Structure 1
Amino acid sequence: MSDNVTIRQLAVKNGGQACDAYSALVDQVVRLADVVEVLGNGIARPAGQSLARWQVLAEVEAEAAPVAAIASRLGHTRQSVQRVADLLVDEGLARYRPNPAHQRAKLLEMTRTGGAALRRMQTAFRQLALRTTEGLDPERLELARETLGELQRRLESELP
């Protein structure tokens, strides 16, 4: 753990039980995010992809979208999603088409090849999900998701 995280934790841990629990939860979420990223890249690799490419493909699975909208939904910068989208287009997994609502902001849509790659990643993810959720109560998972969503909304309200 970095020194900055340790210092931040010590400051939070002096705030009572709720702050202690909050600090432990944030630490756990960060660790979980690291594991999810490693596993996601591992799932995507056999399809010749990365977690970032998987996320962008998944965002246009049902409907083409402008890069800025994809970035907003993923919580990434437009520029980073643009780079990924351009790579997907270069590899034939997606293509740009005109956007009737905006002349310059083209729509990114998945190709058949991209759909096949996405399905391979989704299948591998489902297998992982089945293995790792065996014996877990779906209601507790939903409660955890709701709690994290509420914390996210509260933290977003603190953003400048």
Structure 2
Amino acid sequence: MSDKLVIRQHAVKSDERACDAYSALIDQIVRLADVVEAVGNGIARPTGQSLARWQVLAAVEHEAAPVGDIAGRLGHTRQSVQRVADLLVDDELGCYRPNPAHQRAKLLEVTPVGRAALHRMQAAYTHLALRTTEGLDPERLDLARETLSELQRRLESELP
């Protein structure tokens, strides 16, 4: 366990079992997020992409959208998604088209080249998902997801 995690975990230790379990879960989520990012970048790398570029391409796979909407769905800032979208357009993986609902907020859409890269990443992801979930009970995975969703809702209710 990293020194930062040990310090943080010690700071929130209590005699309450639920608090200790919550703290351990949050620490595990942070470690998992780091691994998910590294694996995602590893899947994207052979197509010349990154996890961030993959996420933005996937967000417009079925329907073009303004950068602000993409950012909201991904939970990122508009500015960071704008940088990624501009790079995708520069590399001809995406293109901007006029937005009939808003003159200044153009729609980002995936190009055929971008769709091909996206499909290669999605195929690699499917193989990874099949390997890493082999032998796991889908009901337990669903329960874990539902628990994380409930914790997210509760934490979001604490936001100012």
Range into which the TM-score falls when normalised by the shorter chain: over 0.9
Corresponding residue of 2:69: 69
Q: Take 1:111 and 1:125, find their aligned partners in 2: how far apart are those partners? A: 21
Amino acid across the alignment from 1:54: W
Tell me how far 1:2 sits from its aligned partner: 3.9
Corresponding residue of 2:22: 22
Identity %: 78
Q: Which has the higher strand share?
A: 1
Amino acid across the alignment from 2:125: F
Would you say how many aligned residue pairs link Structure 1 and Structure 2?
159
Superposition RMSD in Å? 1.0
**Pairing 1:1-160 to 2, within 5 Å after superposition:** 1-3=2-4, 5-160=5-160
Q: Take 1:2 and 1:101, find their aligned partners in 2: how far apart are those partners? A: 50
Q: Take 2:11 and 2:38, find their aligned partners in 1: how far apart are those partners? A: 30
Q: Take 2:81 and 2:150, find their aligned partners in 1: how far apart are those partners? A: 26
Tell me how far 1:140 sits from its aligned partner: 0.4
The TM-score normalised by the length of structure 2 is 0.96
Q: Take 1:2 and 1:33, find their aligned partners in 2: how far apart are those partners? A: 18
Which runs of structure 1 show a deviation greater than 6 angstroms over 4 or more consecutive aligned residues? none
Tell me how far 1:15 sits from its aligned partner: 4.6
Tell me how far 1:157 sits from its aligned partner: 1.2
Tell me how far 1:7 sits from its aligned partner: 3.3
The TM-score normalised by the length of structure 1 is 0.96
Structure 1 unaligned spans of 5+: none
Q: Take 2:98 and 2:137, find their aligned partners in 1: how far apart are those partners? A: 45
Amino acid across the alignment from 1:157: S
Tell me how far 1:10 sits from its aligned partner: 1.8
